[in-house]
Each structure stands twice: as C-alpha cells, then as structure tokens.
Structure 1
Amino acid sequence: MANAKFGRVITAMITPFTADGEVDYEGAVTLAKHLVEHGSEGILVGGTTGEGATMTADEKLKLYAAVVNAVGRNASGKKVPVMGNLGGISTTESIAFAKKAVETGIDSGLVIVPFYVKPNQQGMYEHFAAIAKSVDLPIIIYNVPGRTGVSILPETIKRIVDECPNVVGIKDAAGNWDQVTKEKTLLPDDFMIYSGDDSFTLPILAGGGVGVISVASHVIGDDLLAMVKAFEEGRLQDALQLHIKMYPIMKGMFFIASPIPVKTAVNLIGLPGGHFRLPIAEPSDSEREHVREMLNDYGISC
C-alpha cells in the first residue's frame, strides 16, 4: 500500500490578498502555521483554491518560498511538506515555471490537466511527461474534469508513470469510482491517490487512496485527519460518523464558486483570509450569512 509521503490531509491553501490587490505574504504565513497546527500534514500553495490563475509567476514563487520557510523549515525540526502548483495551459511555460519553482524548496509539484484547450489523451501524455522530465521533483497529476472539460484516463497515467518515475500520485477530483479502481489496478502499489473532493475522501480511502487534498480542512482539519486515522486503524464506524458530521461543511464549501465560501469562512473565524482577485468577487451579504450559519451549525464560533 502507498504511504502518504506528502501528508494524509493536505490543505489547498487560499491566498490572502490585501484591499489594494497585493498578495498578503505575512497573512499567508500566519494561515499556513495555523493549518499545520490543526490537522494539515501538508500544504498546497497557489492552486485553484489559492486563486493561482490570477497570480503572476513572480508572486507565486515568492509565496512558495515564504510558506516553505515558515512551515517547511521550522526551528522545531518538524518539516511540513509543501506542494506548489506548477501547471497551466502551455507546456513550455509550465516547464519554465517548474524549473524556477524547484528553487523555492517545495517538496512536490501539482500539475493540472490543461484547462480550456481540452487536449486528447496523447496530448496529456506528452504534456505531463515533458514537465516531469524537466525537473527533479515529485509530480502529482491533478485530474478535475469539472474545471478542465476533459479527464485523463488511468491508461494514460500508467504510460506517464512507466516513463517518468517522479510522477508519484494523483489528486483525483473526477468523482468516478471506476476511475479510482482502475487507477489502483493499473498503477504501482506506491502510487498515491489523493481525493480531490472532500466528500469523496472516505470512499477513496476504501479504494486504496492515501488521503485528501482538501478545501474544508481550513476549518475542519482536525476532524478530517481524525477520520483518516480512524479508517487506517480499522475504526470504520468512527470514520463513517466523522464523514457524516463533516458532510455539510465539505459540500457547503462549494455552494457557490470556490474559493468564495472557504475564504469567507477563514475571515469569519478571525484568520487572514483576505480579499479576492477578479474574476472572483466578494460574496453577497446573504452568501456570507449562509457561510456563518454553516460554521455555527458545526459548532464553530464566528
């Protein structure tokens, strides 16, 4: 069975922005430190939840270095794995950025199936292989058909892994049980399958997955990690009860476009969630109150 080398609960961290639109690096460091104290065994920086598509390459590189220095190389000696988002539409640009990102000290890189362009399976294979071969860094594939319009097939993943041993896992947000099962069937035992959907974490664990790259862990990280531990220890009823308890939050963080609900939640509980960058906009008053009610119903004061 695969071990979760980069953590069992990895938070896809939001990026705080100031009122004038700048990256709040100090706020990001404060938030990252809070997360690792509350269930997050790893941090993903600059991904979809982090509004990475709205950030410049230089902003992302500075953010990766700041988070690595804050939680990946702390004085206590505990190293928290930091994953940086490397992927984009252009293979050439992704390679150039990946080479620079390695220098920030990140432990792994997340590479999404190219969005908008809808590549075929051969295009996906060549894209991921080219990026993986360009850097000496573990690579996690991100499959999220709801955002990209296409899904990478397990057979294509196997082709990539057979050629590129540094492709070591997948963030699977396809929501397809057959896909997960086939990945587990075709890929090496140590290939890490992470759920890319909070509410699908328990089924993915049952199918041989190692954990979750999570949004909801910003506010329920301790319970998410407790669920994974309960499953690992064979306390299946405890794991199920935690899943049921967390379900309203896990689904509620996507009642409108993410990361609006989770960033609003982080602000409501007094942490530096910060502002948004267009085209993501602030929630309406009613949407903000809905998030507040979700948190209060869970027992989180705000």
Structure 2
Amino acid sequence: MLFSGAMTALVTPFKNNALDEEAYRNFIEFQITEGIHGLVPCGTTGESATLSHEEHERVIEICIDQAKGRVPVLAGAGSNNTIEAIRLTRFAKKAGADGALLITPYYNKPTQEGLFQHYKAIAEAVDLPLVPYNVPGRTGCNLLPETLARLAKAFPNIVGVKEATGDMAQGSKTLSSCPQGFSVLSGDDFTALPLMALGGHGVISVTSNLVPGRMAAMVNAFRKGDGAGAARIHHEVFPLHEAMFFESNPIPAKTALHLMGKMEAELRLPLCSIGAAAKEKLTAVLRQMKLI
C-alpha cells in the first residue's frame, strides 16, 4: 500500500511574503530523519489556498526533490474547478509525485453524482494514484461512503481517501464499503488510532509537523500489534492534537514551529498571527511536551 502510516500535511514556510525554500528543505529533512512515512505538500496545512499557481508547483517540486524517493510524496492538487484539478494533477505526475490528494470541490456544493463525475474526470485524464480528501467542515460537502466505494471500484487509480469528517461511523462505513487494499487515512489526528483499530491505514497529520517521530512511532507500534504502546503515545501527544486547533489550522502549527526554531511564523492573509491568549496556551503545551 503506497499511502499508509504517518504522513505529514506539511506547512509551507514563508519569509518576506515569499516561499522560504531553505527553511522548507530543512523542514522536509527533519521530517524524514525523524522517521515519517510520507509527505503531503500543498494541502490545507500548507496554505494552498493562498499560493499562486507558480508557488504551488514550486512547493511540490522542492518536496519531491528533497525527499529523493526516500518516502512517498502525495501532492495536493485539488480544486473546486474540475479542469483546474486535472491541470494540477497532471503537473504533480510530471513533477514525479507518487500520487495526488484531491479535496472535494469547495463552495460549489456538488451532489453525490457531481462528486462522482468530478473524480471520474480526473481519474480518466491522469494515470496517477489519486486520494480524495473529504473534509466537510471546510468544503460544505460530504463525500459519502457509497459514492467513494463506487469510485474505488470503478477506477483502480483511486487508491485511498483522507477521511476528515471526525465521524467514526462514517469511517467505519467507508472501511466496510471500499475494496480490500483501499487506503483509508484519518485526516484528524485525534481519530488516527481509533480509525486504525477499525482497519484504517494511517493518518495525514498536522501534529506530525511538530513531532513526526512520535506520530510514526504510534503507527509503528500499532502495526506490530502493540496496541497498548500505540495508545500510550496517542495519549502523550493528545494535548498537541488539541493545541493545533486553538485557532484555525495552520496558525498554531506554524507558530509552534517558529517557537521551535524551524521557520518564520509568517502567514498569508486572510490568516493572521495567533492571538495572545491562544499563543499563551500553545506555549504552555509546547513546554509541557518539552518541545521548547
């Protein structure tokens, strides 16, 4: 299974309103050295919504170049415009990505048939492993298990899903509906272990931006049959799962990485610097976890 384990939804470092390539390369190296299982550039956590097309492509190129095949790269390539999603997915393939992460079309609020036709068009246009990304809290639409199963059975290059509803009932239905070998990845850190207990295959993580080694260790323990060890790590890092959403993601993650000395805290509008109260709480958690 190409996409499994702990995969980091990478933040995108900025400096003076431009991509900070040096910080980004160093950050990717930190992730790989710590044992992360995969990298996901240009997702929500990477502020993809405020990247220019040229920046989006460059972020993917740098990630692939720096990873050098040591871990899979699942490149964010989604859009609420199907033609644009196809263009971005074609670029991801040309750049050498191992697959493309495709968010459900946001704002349009398509029907289930519209979602099926959207992913069908991409799957037929680009021969690359594809992973739909279902996060109704951000997009306004929910890719239901029966639609996902229909896609997975019809198109062999639709190989998994990032399931970020936080709904364990939906996760369970997705696991039971989709073909064997279909990778169901949690899109919420706090559901990673529960979803794996139901048969899930890992997590696309925000928390692993800070502690890639701990998130990878949790998955590794579970894979070895050490459920108690995996649960212990889950509880150890749970304060970070909560802290990453003291304000909108990726504001806390990028602020934490700045406090850890990894990059500037710079965000792009409409995201702005973390509020004083949230920063105080975040700093306390980082100190509790001995990260600063």
Q: TM-score, normalised by structure 1?
A: 0.93
| Alpha-carbon distance between aligned partners in 1 of 2:263 and 2:73, rounded to the nearest angstrom | 19
**1: distance between equivalents of 2:93 and 2:225?**
38
1:65 to 1:265, Cα distance in 2 relative to 1, 3 A:
same
CA contact (8 A) 2:92 2:99 kept: no
Seen in structure 2, the aligned counterparts of structure 1 residues 165 and 273 have a Cα distance that, compared at 3 Å, is: farther
% same residue: 37
Residue 215 of structure 1: aligned partner: 206
CA distance in structure 1 between the aligned counterparts of 2:38 and 2:230, rounded to whole angstroms? 21
The answer to whether residue 144 in structure 2 is matched with residue 153 in structure 1 is yes
Is 1:198 paired with 2:195?
A: no
Is 1:12–2:9 an aligned residue pair?
Answer: yes
> What are the Cα deviations for residues 211-233 of structure 1, in whole angstroms up to 9, with x where unaligned?
10000001122111111111122
**Structure-1 separation of matches of 2:93 and 2:46:** 19
1:273 Cα deviation from its structure 2 partner: 4.5
Q: Distance in 1 between matches of 2:275 and 2:148?
A: 41
Residue of structure 2 equivalent to 1:264 = 255
User: Partners in 1 of 2:290 and 2:281 — Cα distance?
Assistant: 14
Q: Deviations over 1:171-222 (max 9, x none)?
A: 0001112211111111111000101000100111001111100000011221
- Which of the residues 61, 65, 83 maps onto 2:61? 65
- Alpha-carbon offset, residue 278 of structure 1: 0.6
Q: Contact 1:16 / 1:275 at 8 angstroms: preserved in 2?
A: yes
Structure 2 residue matching 1:167: 3-state secondary structure: coil
Unaligned runs of 5+ in 1: 74-78
Is it true that 1:52 corresponds to 2:48 in the alignment? Answer: yes
1:183 correspondence with 2:174: yes
**Kept after mapping to 1: 8 A contact 2:4/2:183:** no
Aligned-partner SS, 2:147: helix
Q: How does 1:155-174 map to 2 (within 5 A)?
A: 155-174=146-165
Q: Size of the alignment, in residue pairs?
A: 292
One of 3, 19, 23 as aligned partner of 1:23: 19
Equivalent residue in structure 2 for 1:298, among 278, 285, 289? 289
Contact 2:104 2:115 in 1 (8 A): yes
**Bigger shift: 216-225 or 280-289?**
280-289
Task: State the shift of 1:56 in Å.
Answer: 1.4
Indicate if the aligned counterparts of 1:8 and 1:210 stay in contact, CA closer than 8 A: yes
Tell me, what secondary structure is at the counterpart of 1:229?
helix
Instruction: Give 2:269's aligned residue.
Output: 278
Instruction: State the one-letter code of the partner of 1:47.
Output: G
> What is the match of residue 28 of structure 2?
32
| Conservation of the 8 A alpha-carbon contact between 2:4 and 2:185 | no
Q: TM-score, normalised by structure 2?
A: 0.97
Q: What SS does the aligned partner of 2:95 have?
A: coil
Instruction: Give the C-alpha shift of residue 39 in structure 1.
Output: 3.3
Name the CA distance, whole Å, in 2 between partners of 1:250 and 1:27: 24
Task: Please give the alpha-carbon distance, in whole angstroms, between the structure 2 residues aligned to 1:48 and 1:68.
Answer: 18
Match of residue 42 from structure 1: 38
Deviation by residue 1:5-24 (Cα, 9 ceiling, x = unmatched): 234111000001112x1111
